[in-house]
Chains A and B, each alone.
Chain A
Amino acid sequence: MSATCDFQAKDYKSDLKPIWCPGCGDFSVVQGIYRALAAIGRPPHEIAFVSGIGCSSRIPGYTTAYGFNSVHGRALPIAQGIKLANPDLLVLAAGGDGDGFSIGGGHIAHLIRRNMDITYIVMDNQIYGLTKGQLSPTSQKGRVTCTSRFGSLEEPVNPLLYVLAYGAGFVAQASPTDLAGMAATIEEAIRYPGFAFVNIQSPCVTYGEEGQQIKGLKAISESLVAMGHNPADRLAAMDLAQQYGQKMHLGVFYRNPEPAPTYDGLVRERQALLSKDAPSPERILDLFIKK
């Protein structure tokens, strides 16, 4: 880990102009990320920021970090490879609710059980925006979209409960309704030594319903700190997480007070232990000698 320096939010902003619609919640999310990274102070070239596909997955390109805008649903596998190849890097992954909980939904459970030191930010807008307004895994039951003219027949995924159930060490929610709070939450997630998940309720101005816009979200938002929630209490966090879709609790649901060892940390230990008496790679064929 290199020394941190004085960086400002603008140092993490790239020259690329976002493709997002005016008023998109993701503009606030990227601001929150700039601020969080500035607070942490790692230079941009020591950060790897990976995403999948979707409106929100364009986000790494809007930062000055090493970005990887990959394929749909696969930000997390790629992020794991980066972290294991170079554990010194600060590794961020981001994407939408479809990317994380539908096409890539199989990966998150495994990231959690491995406890890789990666921060995963999901911009949850309950809709597929880039493909112009289809049902997403977090869309409410009954939601009318262009692929559900007569209303959705399925229950939504609850992202918060999902990651809590698999044992994530850090679970939080944020929203553009409180930019300062979002930046602080992302910063805390990055600082957590292990897998950290932040669900961001980020409104889609084009395909979102009225209640999902800033005004509607504000009306159902409640600060977990103000409620007196104890973030060390996992069961209380799961209890609160059940209100996903009705209430928007902001802040840290759960932070493991005794963070478990990370996979990348254990890999380093194993490398150190086993490399002591390693034969040189030039002698690797000696393994096959039959005496």
Chain B
Amino acid sequence: MRKDLVFGMAGSGGDGIVSAGDSLLQAAAAEGYHGVMTKSFGSQIRGGESSCRVRISTTPILNPGGNLDVAVALNWDDFLKFGAELPVSGNTVVIYEAATKIAEADIPLVGVTPLQVIAVPIAEMAKATAGTERAKNTVVLGLIAGWFGIGAVAVMKGIRKKLAKKGEELVEANQRAFDAGRAFAMEHPLKVSMNVAVSDTKGQVKLITDGNDMCAAAAIFAGCRFFGGYPITPSTEVMQFFTDHVWKYGGAVLQAEDEIAGIGAAVGASFAGKKSMTATSGPGLSLKSEMMGLASIAELPLVIVDVQRGGPSTGLPTKTEQSDLFAAAFSAHGDVIRPVLAPTSVADTFRITIEAFNIAEYYQTPVIVLSDQEIASRKETLDPIDTTQFKIINRQVPAAGDLVDYKRFKQTENHISPISHPGMLGGTYLASGIEHVESGAPTNSGSVHQRMNEKRTRKFDSLKERKDLFEVTGNPDAPIAIVAWGSVAGVCREALEMAQAEGINVKLMVPYLLYPVAEGAYNEFFHSVQKGLIVEQTHLAQTFKLLRMHIDLPKGVKSLARSGANPFLPGDIVAALHHLLSELQRSHEGQLQPQE
């Protein structure tokens, strides 16, 4: 029995591939499995190619997985467009539409001989059983239930629920299509059985959601009561969640006329005393940068979610990348420190978003949550989260004594000044983008500017001491190291496990706080390190460069960087570690040889 299976399916927009993936994930969750589902599309609104990956496991999942165990191609043109996103290996069972008229020996996969290749008359079976080719995806679900033992009952239960309103006839048609797929699988057993074992959490309640919904839910939990934004792929669902739910909690949402107005309204709401948020992707982040600078100098709490996609400009709007790191850290002119946090999964998006609000409120600063398309749009099954364990921090308001001759930007020991808001008697002040003295009155003084810059940057010193914003796993004294953040972190966590299983002495650091760069945490981590990899999905190795700006990395620490939409597989990382290991061994041998 297997503990883990990775499915990859591709078809045309109307084939219902993503909907099949959803059904499979939900069925797996209902059967107690852990699951992750990612989607990938062309940028067409309708039609075009679409694909999904579903990974199902009996134990918690770290990432969407590497090579496919099962590939489903409803047509080859669409499947091949996803390239490295749907990697087929010698261990993959390939299932494809027989109507493509391509012989099993001639499938267009170059340089790979799959474990087994099976042509299935999917469209024909759909037509024959449900009367329409639109039931192709249900046939596929039947095949999966038959061959891999997932969802034999739960899939149809889910479909029944989903289609209940559309009438019994449609449900029955789908049942026939499902049964036909399952029967086909039973009649054509796989060469090697690939049934999945029973999950360790069978019978337990599971949650399913994606990163965007999780982010918005976390924000509302953290007390956010205003959202201003503008639709942009792949972040729009954050705003959609707010429009569905925030009113219930006395909050408001504004779909603004543009990206600038979206963040502008959020800045205004924060000035008025509400926790507020905006969400965007790369192009919107560029437009918002002036307002981010304003929030920094006016010392107003604000959370900006940037769901990264391939850039620059429109770039790859539906694919993931980590190339907004520089923009997140350095957008806006002037001397500014603006904290940047990055979640690594749907599950920890909850914690990191709450953390972003806490930091924004405590330090009175804009904070960027640097998510990415993969985390934002992938669905994960989650075990229930105990929300009572999370502490909520609110901005420090002036005490009664502070409100006599109130100074909004008063110099204090920790550089944080109690903040009033309109409606508060005695707290009136001028918020401004212009440099100001402690009272808030505008100034042109260079010495005040120097002092205020000091105040606005030194206040983050304590943030850099936060050890809990860094996760270190593996042997703390290991000579080989990996650093990775965001969605790439999950791939590296699995690579670490694989490398450790091979006996490689390696450790992994996952920073949740990307900026300001916490020199102390990195210096401690790199202390034992001779060889290492900074793994990231950027072409310019932005993380590697950002770290080198702040830290003297050991010479043997190199960059492993590639452009977005080309996912890293755990095996890629392990292969790179092998290379580092042999370098390390060679250099040791070199040291042992007597000098001539």
Q: Give the B-binding residues of A (Cβ under 8 A).
A: 16, 43-48, 50, 53, 58, 60-61, 64-71, 74, 76-86, 88-89, 106-107, 109-110, 267, 270-271, 273-275, 278-279, 281-285, 287-290
Contacts and interface: CB of A to CB of B under 8 A. Distances in A.
Nearest to A62: B430
16 contacts: A45-B422, A45-B428, A68-B431, A70-B433, A71-B294, A81-B264, A85-B270, A85-B273, A86-B422, A89-B422, A267-B252, A271-B247, A282-B221, A285-B217, A289-B205, A290-B26
A81 B207 contact: no
Interface residues of B, number: 70
Nearest to A50: B268
A70 B276 CA distance: 17
A65 B350 CA distance: 38
Contacts of A288: 207-209, 213-214, 217, 382
B20 interface: no
A61 B433 contact: no
Given A81-B264, A110-B257, A289-B205, A275 B423 contact: no
Name the residue among B257, B266, B269 with the largest chain A CB count within 10 angstroms.
B257
Given A80-B256, A290-B30, 6 more contacts: A66-B428, A74-B264, A74-B291, A85-B226, A85-B276, A86-B274
A88 B272 CA distance: 11
A81 B290 contact: no
B206 A86 contact: no
B441 interface: yes
A60 B427 contact: no
Interface in B206-223: 206-209, 213-214, 217, 220-221, 223
SS class, residues of chain B in contact with chain A: mixed
A271 to B, nearest CB: 5
Interface string B188-210: 00000000000000000111110
A287 B213 CA distance: 10
B187 to A, nearest CB: 32
Contacts of A285: 207, 217, 221, 350, 384-385, 387
Contact of B221 (A48, A61, A67, A281): A281
A269 to B, nearest CB: 10
Nearest to A2: B423
B261 interface: yes
Contacts of B425: 43, 45
A24 B206 CA distance: 67
A53 to B, nearest CB: 8
Contacts of B261: 74, 76-77, 80, 106-107, 110
Contact of A81 (B214, B271, B298): B271
B394 to A, nearest CB: 14
A78 B268 contact: yes
Contact of B256 (A79, A88, A110): A110
B47 interface: no
Interface in B387-439: 387-388, 421-434
A212 B426 CA distance: 40
A82 B450 CA distance: 30
B295 to A, nearest CB: 10
B430 A67 contact: yes
B267 A78 contact: yes
Given A69-B433, A275-B247, A82 B268 contact: yes
B271 A82 contact: yes
Interface in B260-292: 260-274, 276, 290-291
Residue of A16, A80, A83 most packed against chain B (CB within 10 A): A80
Contacts of B226: 81, 84-85
Q: Which of A46, A267, A288 has the largest number of chain B CB atoms within 10 A?
A: A288
Contacts, number: 201
Contacts of B291: 71, 74
A186 to B, nearest CB: 19
B249 A69 contact: no
Please list the 6 inter-chain residue pairs (A to B) with the smallest Cβ-Cβ separation, ordered nearest first: A81-B268, A77-B264, A81-B265, A278-B248, A85-B272, A78-B268
B124 interface: no
B315 interface: no
Nearest to B205: A289
Contact of B442 (A69, A80, A85, A275): A69
A274 B29 CA distance: 31
B153 to A, nearest CB: 15
Nearest to A47: B422
Nearest to B241: A287
B423 A89 contact: yes
A85 B252 contact: yes
A44 B430 CA distance: 12
Nearest to A51: B432
B245 interface: yes
B348 interface: no
Contacts of B207: 285, 288-290
Nearest to B223: A281
A69 B209 contact: no
B581 interface: no
Max chain B C-beta neighbours (<10 A), residue from A48, A70, A89, A289: A70
A45 B384 CA distance: 44
A274 B388 CA distance: 25
A69 B440 CA distance: 10
A284 to B, nearest CB: 5
Nearest to B248: A278
Nearest to A48: B422
A56 to B, nearest CB: 14
B128 to A, nearest CB: 32
B124 to A, nearest CB: 33
B217 A77 contact: no
Contacts of A83: 268
B107 interface: no
A69 B214 CA distance: 35
